[in-house]
Amino acid sequence: MTMRGMNTKDWSRYVVVVMGICLALFVLVELTGWLIVPGRYRNPPPVTADAWMYSDALTGTDTVWLKEFVDEFCRSYTARWTSYLYFRREPFSGRHINVDSSGQRCTPQFGEDQGDERRNPRAFLLGGSTMWGTGARDSNTIPAALARLIASKSGERRLRVLNLGESGYVNTQALLALELELRGGNVPDDVILYDGVNDIFSAYQNNEAGLPQNEQNRVLEFNLLQNGERMRELGIRDIWNRTVTGGVVATLRDLISDSPPPPRMRAHLAEDIVRLYRGNLDILGALSRHYGFRYRAYWQPVVFSKRDPSPYEQKQSDKMEYVRPIYLEVYRRVAADSALLANPCFHNLSGIFDGAGPVYLDFCHITERGNGIIARQMYEDLYRR
C-alpha cells in the first residue's frame, strides 16, 4: 500500500509509530549522554580542576593543594539570599576554605590573643572575588596576608582583619555591605576597598554602568512566582538546554546561521564607570568622617594592565580579548582622573605587578604570592609614619 492510498486510521497508526521511534531514539541518546557526560545535566562547576593548573606563576608544591582547593571551592560555591546585597555564601568548613555563619571568609589573625576581640581595633576589607580569596587558601588571602604582616611587627597598632569580600561584588555592593555593618553598630577603625574589575565587567554585561553583575537574571526572576506560565517555560527551556539533543540542535543552528554581532557599547560607558566609582568614594569619605574610621581605596590590577606578561598571562589576556578594550579605556581614565589623583585615600595599583614575574591565575585572579604583594602595599599605607 502506498502512502497516497492510506486512510485516516493508517495515517494515525503511522504517525504514532514514527513518534514512538523518535521518542525511543531521544531516550536512548539521553541515557547514553547521562552515562558518558553526567555533568551535562547538572549546573556546571564554577571552576574546573585544571582551570589554573597550568599557570606559570605556580610552583611545584602549589599544584598539590590547588586541586584540593578547587574541589572545596566548587562545593563552597553556594549562596543564600541576603537583602540589599543579593547573596552571601553559605557556611562551609574545609581544609583550605572556611566560611563562618555570617557568610564571611575566615581570616587567621596570627597574633596573640588580646582578650575581647570586639574591643580590638578592626579593619574591614571589602571587594569582590580577589579580596574574598579565589585561588588562595584561608591563610594566604589578601586579608590573611595583611594580618600576618601586622602580627610580625612588634609595637604596631594591632588590627583584627576581617574579610567582607564576596565573589562578584561590584563597588556599590561592597559599600552597601559596609553600610549594613555600620547600621548595626559594627564600626571599624579602618576600611580597605579593593575592586574595579567587577564594575567594568558588569558594565560590559549590562551595557550600563553601576549595576550588579548578571542583573538581567534578577530582572528575569522578578515576580516569577506570580507567573506560572513563564516559570514552566523557563523550566522546560533549562531542561532542553541541558540535553545532548538540545546541544546538537544548538550547534547545528550556530553552524547554519551567522553569529549575531556583539552589542554596541554605549557612548560614555567608560566615563560613567569612573564617575560612579568616584561618587561611591565620596560617599565612603562622608561615612568615614561621620563614623570616625579611616579608609583607603585600591584600584586593582588586571592582566591587561601588566607591561610584561608571561606567556601564560598573555594567553589569559588573549582569551579575554572581547573585554580588553573597555578595560584598557577605563584604566586609562582612572590613571588620568584629577579627582581620584587628588584623593590621598585612593591608590591605583594597576601597575603593581610590573617586573614582579608571573602572578596571574586568569585575567584577574592572582596567586598567593600576588596577594602578599598587594597586602604589603596596604600594610605600608596603614602604618606609614
pLDDT tens-place string over residues 23-33: 777 777 767 76
pLDDT band at 51 (very low <50, low <70, confident <90, very high): confident
pLDDT at 229: 78
Please check whether residue 142 is in contact with residue 106, taking contact to mean a CB–CB distance below 8 angstroms. Answer: no
pLDDT at 294: 96
Higher pLDDT, 44 or 19: 19
pLDDT band at 14 (very low <50, low <70, confident <90, very high): confident
Higher pLDDT, 8 or 72: 72
List the beta strands (DSSP E) in 255-329: 294-299
DSSP code per residue over 15-84: HHHHHHHHHHHHHHHHHHHHHH-GGGGSPPPSS-TTTTTT-TT--TTHHHHHHHHHHHHHHH--EEEETT
| Over residues 90-110, mean pLDDT | 95
pLDDT tens-place string over residues 259-313: 666 667 777 999 999 999 999 999 999 999 999 999 999 999 999 999 999 999 9
Residue 250 neighbours by CB distance under 10 Å: 12
Distance of alpha carbon 193 from alpha carbon 284, whole angstroms: 10
Higher pLDDT, 255 or 55: 55
**CA 167 remoteness from chain centre:** 4
pLDDT tens-place string over residues 124-142: 999 999 999 999 999 999 9
| Over residues 39-51, mean pLDDT | 68
Res 115 pLDDT > 60: no
Res 254 pLDDT > 60: yes
Whole-model pTM: value is: 0.86
